[in-house]
């Protein structure tokens, strides 16, 4: 097929790819998991059988195997017309997507100190794709770029200024592609232009963040220097007292253990002692499991607190938007969160909350609610495909 766009999203041991046609209709997607391990494997949507990968297969082998399936399925000619890469950290260098060349690669490497777990694997994905398709335009789309409109008062920490000046210690924000998609979709649903639409966008997946979008621009967001700050997440703590680091050091906990504790063992998993998966937690809570009930309460209360905090950045609010696996699917989380926000005039319609989407164009607020509340499925891959098309072939973007 002519003019296809390949979207690549690399994790440390995973690789997600999606293939779009020139009109940005999704043709297929695939996922490789457990890369670098003995039992690496891949799956492609619509193919019941797993795709064989060599033991210890790396990102390049996985990409090559998935691309071969797309070719065999007749979805991809020799090569796509462009490739869009999700890159987590663009620092202050990238305010928008960038056509990848050696300078852009060097700048992404420079940002790696800000995202040591993410940028190096994103670079591995770019290198793998460049090796496979050396003559095809590759575009980097940054999680941080949408938040480069944050005002100084929102991005500065109250720290000695040399930390910012010398090392770039500031709040950057993440999930930018999803929040940007929410801004555009909410405007479309509300019959407005993005430039006049102000929303609070809550992206609730395994990672969670919330953003105040004022007249189309990110004005405040809950994630900071790293994707650890802010809301309660699947395994991440979100906000803690910075005094905790000293306290734990005095208990003999080493820095790398603190890192693991806050990133991998906290959040819903840490509170419940059972799982980071909200759907399972809701089932456990239903059966009277108290730590799971507590985890859900803390999650929703922190989220509601942040909705209140985001109000400080807006001069009007067109809608509060829920997205991500939890935001799109958990009526319980939405209901509990909104229950904390009655003073602002939010109410919820239980029927709409339960059946959102099918009967309401995503609307779930009660008739008397002061503000609209929308549930909108996110589509980060589409944003990356659109950006790749726009950057790689200016004038052809749909
Ligand atoms: P990722 O950040 O990895 O893309 P997702 O956006 O897919 O994650 O969100 C995963 C989260 O969504 C998990 O906690 C999962 O349990 C939750 N989720 C999915 N469906 C439901 C549901 N029906 N009810 C509650 N939570 C759900």
With 60 as the cut, is the pLDDT of residue 331 above it? Answer: yes
Q: How confident is the model at residue 358 (pLDDT cuts 50, 70, 90)?
A: low
How much is the pLDDT for 258?
Answer: 96
- The CA-atom distances, in angstroms, between 87 and each of 60, 146, 377 are 17, 13, 21
Look at residues 173, 167, 150, 156 and name the one whose alpha carbon lies nearest to residue 224.
Answer: 173
Q: Can you tell me which residue has the tokens 């589409």?
A: 382
How much is the pLDDT for 398?
Answer: 42
State percent of the chain over pLDDT 70. Answer: 98
With 50 as the cut, is the pLDDT of residue 371 above it? Answer: yes
Q: How far is the CA of 267 from the centre of ligand 1 (A)?
A: 14
Q: How confident is the model at residue 144 (pLDDT cuts 50, 70, 90)?
A: very high
316 in helix, strand or coil?
Answer: coil
Average pLDDT over residues 55-78: 94
Q: How far is the CA of 277 from the centre of ligand 1 (A)?
A: 7
Q: How far is the CA of 365 from the centre of ligand 1 (A)?
A: 22
How much is the pLDDT for 392?
Answer: 80
Query: In this predicted model, which residue has the larger pLDDT, 12 or 8?
Result: 8
Q: How far apart are CA 393 and CA 388, in angstroms?
A: 8
The catalytic site residues sit at: 143
Average pLDDT of the residues of the chain: 94
With 90 as the cut, is the pLDDT of residue 349 above it? Answer: yes
The values of phi and psi at residue 13, to 5°, are -125, 20
The angle, 0 to 180 degrees and rounded to 10, between the axes of the packed helices 331-339 and 290-311 is 60
Return the residue whose CA atom lies nearest to atom 25 of ligand 1. 279
Cβ < 6 A, ligand 1 pocket: 205-207, 234, 277-279, 282, 324-326, 329-330
How much is the pLDDT for 359?
Answer: 61
With 70 as the cut, is the pLDDT of residue 250 above it? Answer: yes
Return the residue whose CA atom lies nearest to atom 26 of ligand 1. 279
With 70 as the cut, is the pLDDT of residue 100 above it? Answer: yes
With 60 as the cut, is the pLDDT of residue 387 above it? Answer: yes
Handedness of CA 279, 283, 289, 290 (dihedral sign): positive
Over the stretch 253-281, which tens digit does the pLDDT of each residue have? 999 999 999 999 999 999 999 999 999 99
The minimum-distance atom of ligand 1 relative to the CA of 333 is 25
How much is the pLDDT for 357?
Answer: 56
Average pLDDT over residues 109-138: 91
Q: Beta strands 41-44 and 51-52: pairing type?
A: antiparallel
Q: How far is the CA of 274 from the centre of ligand 1 (A)?
A: 16
Q: How confident is the model at residue 236 (pLDDT cuts 50, 70, 90)?
A: very high
The values of phi and psi at residue 214, to 5°, are -105, 115
Residues 67 and 53: beta-carbon distance below 8 Å: no
How much is the pLDDT for 391?
Answer: 87
185 in helix, strand or coil?
Answer: helix
Q: Give the DSSP letter string of 20-64.
A: E-TT--EEEEEEEESTTSTT-EEEETT--SPEE--TT--HHHHHH
The pTM (predicted TM-score) of the whole model is: 0.93
């Amino acid at each position: 097929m002519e003019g296809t766009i390949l979207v690549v999203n690399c994790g440390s041991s995973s690789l997600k790819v999606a293939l779009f046609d020139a009109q940005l209709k999704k043709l297929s997607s695939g996922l490789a998991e457990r890369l670098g391990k003995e039992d690496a494997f891949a799956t492609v949507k619509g193919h019941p059988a797993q795709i064989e990968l060599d033991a210890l297969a790396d990102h390049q082998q996985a990409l090559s195997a998935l691309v071969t399936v797309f070719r065999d399925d007749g979805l991809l000619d020799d090569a796509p017309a462009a490739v869009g890469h999700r890159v987590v950290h663009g620092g202050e260098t990238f305010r928008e997507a960038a056509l990848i060349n050696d300078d852009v690669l060097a700048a992404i490497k420079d940002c790696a100190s800000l995202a040591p777990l993410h940028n190096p694997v994103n670079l591995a994905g770019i290198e793998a794709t460049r090796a496979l398709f050396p003559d095809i335009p590759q575009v980097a789309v940054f999680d941080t770029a949408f938040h480069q409109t944050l005002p100084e008062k929102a991005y500065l920490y109250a720290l000695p200024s040399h930390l910012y000046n010398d090392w770039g210690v500031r709040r950057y924000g993440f999930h930018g592609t999803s929040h940007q998609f929410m801004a555009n979709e909410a405007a479309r649903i509300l019959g407005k232009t993005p430039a006049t639409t102000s929303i609070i966008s809550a992206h609730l997946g395994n990672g969670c963040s919330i953003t105040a979008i004022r007249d189309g621009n990110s004005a405040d967001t809950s994630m900071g220097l790293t994707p650890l700050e802010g809301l309660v997440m699947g395994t991440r703590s979100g906000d803690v007292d910075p005094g905790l680091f000293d306290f734990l050091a005095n208990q003999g906990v080493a820095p790398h253990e603190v890192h693991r504790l806050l990133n991998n063992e906290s959040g819903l998993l840490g509170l419940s002692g059972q799982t980071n998966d909200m759907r399972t937690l809701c089932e456990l809570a239903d059966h009277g499991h108290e730590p799971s009930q507590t985890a859900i309460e803390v999650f929703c209360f922190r989220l509601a607190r942040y909705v209140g905090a985001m109000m400080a950045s807006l001069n009007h609010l067109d809608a509060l938007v829920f997205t991500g696996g939890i935001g799109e699917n958990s009526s319980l989380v939405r209901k509990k969160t909104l229950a904390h926000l009655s003073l602002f005039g939010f109410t919820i319609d239980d029927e709409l909350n339960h059946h959102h989407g099918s009967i309401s164009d995503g609307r779930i607020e009660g008739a008397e609610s002061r503000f609209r509340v929308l549930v909108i499925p996110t589509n980060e891959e589409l944003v990356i495909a659109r950006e790749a098309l726009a950057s790689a072939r200016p004038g052809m973007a749909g």
